[in-house]
Amino acid sequence: MTRHFLVLSIAITLIISAGVSIANDMDDMDGGSGSDSSGTGAMGQMGAHMKMSDHMTMTESRPMTPADRQRGEQIIASMKEKLAKYQDYKAAIADGYEPYMESVPQDVYHFANRQATAAEYMGDFDLAHPGSLLYERKTFGGYKLVGAMYDAPASDTPDQLDALIPLSLSHWHAHTNICLPAGVTEADVVNGNIAAHARPDISSAVDPGRGYSRATGDALRMRVGYMADPRFGFTGTISNEADCQAAGGNFHQQIFGWMIHVYPFASDDLTAAFSTEAP
């Protein structure tokens, strides 16, 4: 299987996995430690608040040009027109956008479409058919459309990403430097099979000599599967191959492709529409 089709397969399974989604896995992995995202752990890195870190690579900003500003305005106008029908979230569901993690409180909920995501990972970028639609949950039921998430192949260069959405407007991001423990594969993470694994022996994680207290150990036991060990995962303390190998894990320079969030329904102001933080 070529790398291209491996990435495609991973992307499709990620977005519409039958079990626990990767976003759910990432949220559990964080457990409230090491992230300043609001309330939803690492899910915030995918949704409301994203920042550069060892596990989050973001494209560098480029100087704004008049052409970029014009493109930005055209992107926002096009998204407002093409995605307006999805103000009714039931229309999104009817068109194949499936919500996940509904039971987990989030700032932004992803409604993902298998075919649209597959197309994006094949290099078919279409503003009218984003891989995911982004919604906020309304207080008295239902969802409010706030934006969309677009994807691109992991192999895309900055220039290729800039051609899709200018790097002067926002940051594309990727999940990088991920250490998974022995017995857990990238496919396990993608398919949301983490909870199916036996909980590891975390005695080493509560060894005071390693800087973990017994109280911390009690908290770790409340987590699921390999996520009981804070060294591993998308917000784990390990972020380089040497440390990962020393811990008996398997290292991944990048899992999944490039992603970008756009919020055209938040404001006509390009700064707000292309912000890395949800409205």
> Residue 48: inside a domain, yes or no?
no
> Residue 210: inside a domain, yes or no?
no
Residue type, 67: A
> Residue 145: inside a domain, yes or no?
yes
> Residue 249: inside a domain, yes or no?
no
> Residue 110: inside a domain, yes or no?
yes
**47-102 tens-digit pLDDT:** 445 566 788 889 999 999 999 999 999 999 999 999 999 999 999 999 999 886 56
Sheet holding 132-137, edge to edge: 56-58, 173-180, 250-262, 143-152, 132-137, 109-113, 97-99
Task: Report CA torsion sign: 242, 217, 41, 200.
Answer: positive
* Predicted confidence band of residue 22 (pLDDT cuts 50, 70, 90): very low
- Give the Cα separation of 214 and 273 in Å (integer): 45
> Residue 87: inside a domain, yes or no?
yes
> Residue 189: inside a domain, yes or no?
no
Nearby residues of 93 by Cβ (< 8 Å), 6 or more positions away:
99, 111
Residue range 149-168: average pLDDT? 96
According to the model, what pLDDT value does residue 21 have?
34
Number of domains composing the chain: 1
* Predicted confidence band of residue 217 (pLDDT cuts 50, 70, 90): very low
Q: Which domain holds residue 170?
A: 3-19+67-175+257-273
> Residue 212: inside a domain, yes or no?
no
CB 191 within 8 A of CB 19: yes
